[in-house]
């Protein structure tokens, strides 16, 4: 692996690497010392390289839940338990030091300064991860934090607009979905906050719909972070960076294996077993026009397993991208209803431009165009058209817990 020997905060800058890289023993021990993972490391050599170590998946990390809770209790400097999904009875947990690695992160990425006033529009409950992250970022940066949390409906957002003006809010922090929802209300009311100049985002891709809203509002600098609840922050970007490219933090080692991103965290405060962890995205090495010295990775599609619907396999993003490519579609979400049952069907929810025809006409036109693009599905449903349904809606609501808008979700009816 190519390593640059100029260091940041004690960690060498790593280029996305081959597997021929030695891994510190304390990093391997984060996984090997957990009873639920111990058997995976029984034949690991004393000084292993990345190629000697197994690749860990979400399923592996989820199996460590009780072990990680026990580890958290032993952390003398304090820790925080966060969730990345699951149920209330069995949440998928991530254990992080109370520092959230913030000093190391801000050595490379420091979007705030003294005098900034930041609306934290992330969800602060139900084990949400980005609310404490942005709150601590404000604290360490000397900024003012306004913990509004997820604002929900248009009506709720409207009640806070005057407050944002009075406090001279300079930054919005949230998922692209939540940030776009706030900006859309400002645009609708023909308001531009004279102090607002930054957007701090995380949690999901900054999709084309949210980007259009930001561009329409105008004069906003975008600062993003990439990672997961398990890996924490892997990379960052700023106003001069492509929206889907991120500079890798010095304490993270990234590999690209069969196109998928693997993450190994070498921070000495790390508690999670992030050792060759498959984060769930495809990625490629890339470059960036900004002046950061940290290596760059461009994040692509999810590398989750394919979805099987009516005997047809497709990538999770595939039907969404086909719909979003259609004229007059502004937003969309794919809902798979009763997946795997005899009566499964796909509902395509769409938000269209204001000038389009009535609902019945646009739904029929979009369905026809969608099936021309998704030819395999078209063949499968030609004699049962009720299996693909299009519904025109006024908005696509985000997940109330994460404040993200997934491109595809499943439900039972």
- Taking only the tens place, the pLDDT of each residue in 298-341 is 999 888 767 888 867 787 888 999 999 998 899 999 999 999 88
- Taking only the tens place, the pLDDT of each residue in 185-220 is 999 999 999 999 999 999 888 988 899 999 999 999
Asked whether 76 and 112 are in contact (CB, 8 A), the reply is no
**Number of neighbours of residue 347 by Cβ within 10 angstroms:** 15
Alpha helices in 235-358 (DSSP H): 318-324
Is 255 part of a structural domain of the chain? yes
Is 48 part of a structural domain of the chain? no
- Do 279 and 178 share a domain, yes or no? yes
Is 27 part of a structural domain of the chain? no
Q: Of 302, 335, 366, which residue constitutes the final position of a domain?
A: 302
Closest CA to 249 of 233, 273, 230: 233
- Do 296 and 342 share a domain, yes or no? no
Bigger pLDDT: 382 vs 87: 382
Bigger pLDDT: 87 vs 305: 305
Quick one: tokens of 193?
């906050």
Could you give the 3-state DSSP secondary structure of residue 272? coil
Burial 18-45 (b: 16+ CB within 10 A, else e): eeebebeeebbebbbebebbeebbeebe
pLDDT > 80? residue 114: yes
CATH number assigned to the domain comprising residue 251: 3.40.50.12780
Is 67 part of a structural domain of the chain? no
Backbone angles phi, psi at 62, to 5 degrees: -60, -30
Q: Of 302, 335, 351, which residue constitutes the final position of a domain?
A: 302
**Parent domain of 374:** 307-411
- Do 270 and 397 share a domain, yes or no? no
Asked whether 112 and 144 are in contact (CB, 8 A), the reply is no
CA dist 40 and 63 (Å) reads 13
**Number of neighbours of residue 62 by Cβ within 10 angstroms:** 17
pLDDT > 70? residue 36: yes
Is 178 part of a structural domain of the chain? yes
Q: Length of the chain in residues, anyone?
A: 413
- Do 316 and 234 share a domain, yes or no? no
Is 263 part of a structural domain of the chain? yes
What is the full DSSP assignment across 51-113? GGSPPB-HHHHHTTHHHHHHHHHT-TT-EEEEEEEE-SSSEEEEEEETTTTHHHHHHH-----
Lowest mean pLDDT among 8-22, 209-223, 355-369: 8-22
- Do 190 and 335 share a domain, yes or no? no
pLDDT band for position 6 (cuts 50, 70, 90): very low
- Do 223 and 272 share a domain, yes or no? yes
- Do 277 and 358 share a domain, yes or no? no
CA dist 118 and 143 (Å) reads 7
Is 14 part of a structural domain of the chain? no
pLDDT band for position 1 (cuts 50, 70, 90): very low
- Do 266 and 352 share a domain, yes or no? no
- Do 320 and 173 share a domain, yes or no? no
Asked whether 18 and 1 are in contact (CB, 8 A), the reply is yes
Write down the pLDDT at residue 186. Answer: 97
CATH number assigned to the domain comprising residue 368: 3.30.300.30
pLDDT > 50? residue 2: no
What end-to-end distance do the CA atoms of the chain give, in Å? 51
- Taking only the tens place, the pLDDT of each residue in 244-286 is 999 999 999 999 999 999 999 999 999 999 999 999 999 999 9
pLDDT > 60? residue 16: no
- Do 235 and 329 share a domain, yes or no? no
Number of H helices, E strands in the chain: 11, 21
Write down the pLDDT at residue 5. Answer: 27
Q: Of 302, 329, 364, which residue constitutes the final position of a domain?
A: 302
Asked whether 142 and 113 are in contact (CB, 8 A), the reply is yes
Q: How many structural domains comprise the chain?
A: 2
Report the run of H or E that residue 312 belongs to, with start and end: strand 312-314
Is 380 part of a structural domain of the chain? yes
What pTM was estimated for this model as a whole?
0.81
- Do 264 and 323 share a domain, yes or no? no
- Do 90 and 234 share a domain, yes or no? yes
């Amino acid at each position: 692996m190519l390593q640059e020997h100029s260091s940041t905060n004690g960690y060498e800058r790593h280029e996305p690497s081959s597997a021929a890289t030695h891994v510190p023993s304390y990093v391997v021990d984060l996984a090997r010392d957990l009873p639920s993972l111990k058997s995976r490391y029984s034949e690991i050599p004393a000084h292993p390289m990345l190629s000697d170590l197994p690749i860990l998946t979400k399923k592996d990390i989820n199996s460590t839940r009780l072990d990680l809770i026990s580890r958290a209790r032993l952390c003398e400097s304090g820790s925080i338990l966060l969730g990345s999904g699951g149920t209330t009875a069995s949440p998928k947990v991530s254990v992080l030091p109370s520092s959230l690695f913030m000093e190391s992160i801000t050595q490379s990425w420091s979007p705030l300064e003294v005098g900034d006033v930041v609306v934290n529009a992330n969800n602060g409950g139900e084990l949400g991860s980005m609310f404490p992250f942005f709150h601590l970022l404000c604290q360490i940066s000397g900024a003012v934090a306004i913990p509004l949390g997820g604002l929900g409906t248009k009506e709720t957002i409207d009640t806070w607009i005057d407050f944002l003006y009075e406090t001279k809010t300079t930054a919005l922090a949230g998922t692209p979905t939540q940030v776009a929802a706030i900006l859309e209300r400002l645009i609708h009311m023909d308001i531009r906050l004279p102090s607002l100049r930054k957007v701090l985002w995380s949690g999901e891709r900054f999709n084309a719909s949210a980007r259009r809203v930001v561009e329409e509002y105008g004069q906003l600098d975008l600062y993003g972070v990439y990672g997961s609840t398990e890996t924490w922050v892997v990379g960052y970007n700023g106003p001069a960076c492509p929206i889907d490219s991120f500079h890798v933090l010095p304490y993270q080692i990234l590999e690209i294996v069969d196109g998928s991103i693997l993450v190994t965290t070498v921070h000495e405060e790390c508690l999670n077993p992030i050792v060759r962890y498959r984060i769930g995205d495809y990625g490629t090495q890339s470059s960036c026009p900004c002046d950061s010295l940290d290596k760059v990775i461009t994040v692509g599609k999810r590398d989750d397993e394919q979805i099987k619907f009516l005997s047809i396999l497709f990538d999770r993003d595939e039907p969404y991208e086909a719909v979003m490519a259609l004229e007059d579609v502004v937003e969309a979400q794919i809902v798979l209803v009763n997946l795997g049952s005899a009566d499964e069907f796909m509902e395509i929810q769409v938000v269209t431009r204001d000038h389009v025809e009535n609902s019945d006409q646009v739904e029929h036109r979009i369905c026809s165009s969608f099936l021309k693009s998704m030819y395999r599905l078209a063949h499968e449903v030609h004699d049962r058209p009720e299996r693909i349904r299009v519904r025109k809606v006024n908005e696509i609501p985000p997940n109330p817990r994460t404040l993200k808008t997934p491109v595809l979700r499943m439900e039972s009816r």
